[in-house]
Amino acid sequence: MAAKRERTQSSKKLLGAENSETRTALMDAGEKLMRDEGYAAVSSRRIAAVAGLKHQVIYYYFDTLDDLLLAVFRRSAEAGQARLREALKQEQPLRAIWEMNRDPRGNHFIREFTALANRNEVIRAEIARYALETRRTQAEAIERHLQARGVEPHISPTLISFLLAAVGRLLVNEESFGVDEVHDEANALVETVLRRFESAEPGQPTDRIFEAP
């Protein structure tokens, strides 16, 4: 029995340390390729070339290329959550949420990982977990600020978060294809909502902030 355990342990692949500079360099290279060129351009050889390493070294730190990209996504998601929490400390959390969802680079990065998720269940689950965590964090911040102002909107803070994300990302995605029909009108509508919210003073009840002009 002991011999069997020994064989199992000795056959297990030993990976490099997670705090290794080489591991970080590989993740940096993978993230750069995903952001600059997209998922289709990513390979172990490309990542290694950008990092200035031999491509075999990837498999000392990661079982597969997808494991490396999963680590890249998790690191980026954690950094994004930290930025979000800081942004939501501002006086106008709705505008902070809107501006984050209108960031072209962030949207492009998520799109590329979504393409990868079509064939990778683990990454698909990680994207879903991150999306839900982000929405809940945003909804909680929106609710706090609405309550402080005595605002009782017709829709829930969670739906407000969803709509800001949906509209913002759709605008960015269409703009990347050169499509801008109705974009001015959509941006004007959101700006009207944001200004109404920003002009509402603490304790001043209003239920018209989220109505169309």
CATH number of the domain to which 59 belongs: 1.10.10.60
Q: What is the mean pLDDT of residues 53-76?
A: 93
- The residue segments making up the domain with residue 39 are 15-63
Cα atoms found within 13 Å of the Cα of residue 124, Cβ hemisphere only: 7
Residue spans of alpha helices (H) in the chain:
2-11, 21-36, 44-51, 58-61, 65-87, 93-101, 104-117, 121-148, 157-176, 183-199
Q: Specify whether 59 is located in the same domain as 75.
A: no
pLDDT over 60 at 125, yes or no = yes
In a domain, residue 6? The reply is: no
Q: Check pLDDT > 70 for residue 51.
A: yes
Does residue 96 sit in the same domain as residue 172?
yes
Question: Do 147 and 139 touch, CB atoms closer than 8 A?
Answer: no
> How much is the pLDDT for 7?
36
| Closest-CA residue to 167 (of 140, 194, 143) | 194
Q: What pLDDT score was predicted for residue 14?
A: 55
Structure tokens belonging to residue 21: 């500079």
Q: Which of 59, 172, 173, 40 is nearest to 116 (CA)?
A: 40
The verdict on 45 and 74 lying in the same domain is no
Same domain, 159 and 189: yes
Rounded to the nearest angstrom, the gap between the alpha carbon of residue 142 and the centroid of all alpha carbons in its chain is 19
Residues 22 and 76 in one domain: no
Give the pLDDT score at 15.
65
Confidence class for position 19, pLDDT limits 50, 70, 90: low
| Structure confidence at residue 9 (pLDDT) | 38
Of 97 and 198, the structure prediction assigns the larger pLDDT to 97
- 103 lies in the same domain as 37: no
Q: Is the pLDDT reported for residue 205 higher than 70? A: no
Task: Judge if 121 and 145 occupy the same domain.
Answer: yes
Q: What percent of the chain has pLDDT over 90?
A: 62
Task: Clarify whether residues 83 and 34 are in a common domain.
Answer: no
Please tell me the distance from the alpha carbon of residue 49 to that of residue 181, in angstroms, as a whole number: 41
pTM over 0.75: yes
Does residue 120 sit in the same domain as residue 40? Answer: no
Within a domain: residue 7?
A: no
119 and 208 co-located in one domain: yes
pLDDT of residue 6: 34
Question: What pLDDT score does 50 carry?
Answer: 96
Same domain, 49 and 138: no
Q: What is the pLDDT of residue 196?
A: 81
Q: How many distinct structural domains can be found in the chain? A: 2
